[in-house]
Structures are given as structure tokens and as C-alpha cells.
Amino acid sequence: MGVQEVGFPVDLSVVAWCACGGPDGQLQVKVKPSLTHRSGGDASIGVGNFRLVVAGADVAGWSGLTAAGQAPFVLPDDTLGEVAYIPANKDGWSQRLGDAWTFATHWDASTLPAGGRYLDEGVKRGDLVFYVPTGSDEVVVLAGLALMSEDGSTAIGWAPRESWGAEGDPNAF
């Protein structure tokens, strides 16, 4: 089953985002999330807990780098068919891309207490970068951003793509 939009303990939204060309024929998707924890206890919000949910991605072509050696995984979805859950790149990592560099994740949070909120409004702070392999037809559908439980088995927050608003300038956040 894919991510369902009901009863998540963490309110997750995307306040800024962009998509542009990336290495190895992939897209780079950069997002700035905002989180509010509504339940008891701490919620894990480390960079490794986030997944970009994408339909049409060829995960065999993924070349991102995560701190814990995470890899994308694929699950069936009732609406989109198979969807890939792509991990964010590790903090501070980027790659040479022609005469420039790819964008880097800049994330410093690991836990969010009950009732807590996280949003780093600084430029190049509190943002996540995902590499999205486009596959042979180069058509992917961004379904949303998921915050996964500590063990990675369950979404504890969900921001569907249609709620993200207009795409912005990647250098402005």
C-alpha cells in the first residue's frame, strides 16, 4: 500500500521546492520541509527518515549518497502503480555537474519533541536534496514527501506534491 493521508503524528509540509537537472541523467529535487509534532514522545526527523515518493523512477539508476547506506525501495500504490521511496542525500554532500555543483542537503535536526516545530528559514539550511532517476522514458511523477518511522517501515508524516505550491528558485532557499 502507498502512503495514505490520514492521522499522521507529524504535520509535514513543503514550504519551498525546485526540480532541476542532476548527475547521471537524474533530476535533483530540493525541498524545504516544515514539521510540527502532534503526538507524545520524540519523533525521529534525521535526514535518513525522509523519502521522496515518486512514480516512474528507475531505482536501478539512482546514484545518491546517504550516511547509512540507505537505498530506494519500491512499493505498490493503488493509484500510481509502483512508487519509489527515495532517500535524501546525506548532509553536505554534492557532486560536480559540468562547470557547477549539485545542490547539497543541509539538515541539522534529529529529533522533534511532542508539540515541537522545525523549520529552518535560512538559505541553504533545513533543506533536503534527492536524486531522482528518470528511467528510460524520462517521465516521473512526484507524489509527495514522506517522513518515515525510525525503522523505516511506516510513514509518520506526509506532504502530497499538490500541497507544495509553486516551484521556486533553488538558490533562494
- Cβ-based neighbours of 21, under 8 Å, separated by 6 or more: 27, 28, 97
Given this model, what pLDDT does residue 77 score?
Answer: 85
* Entry pTM: 0.91
What does the alpha-carbon distance between residue 59 and residue 28 come to, in Å, rounded to a whole number? 14
pLDDT at 115 over 80: yes
**Predicted confidence (pLDDT) per residue in 135-167, tens digit:** 666 678 999 999 999 988 899 999 999 999 999
Please calculate the CA angle 120-126-131 and round it to the nearest 5 degrees.
155
Please calculate the CA angle 20-26-31 and round it to the nearest 5 degrees.
45
**Predicted confidence (pLDDT) per residue in 11-23, tens digit:** 999 999 999 999 9
Q: Tell me the helices (H) and strands (E) count for the chain, helix number first.
A: 0, 13
**Predicted confidence (pLDDT) per residue in 23-76, tens digit:** 988 999 999 999 999 988 899 999 999 999 999 888 988 999 987 888 899 988
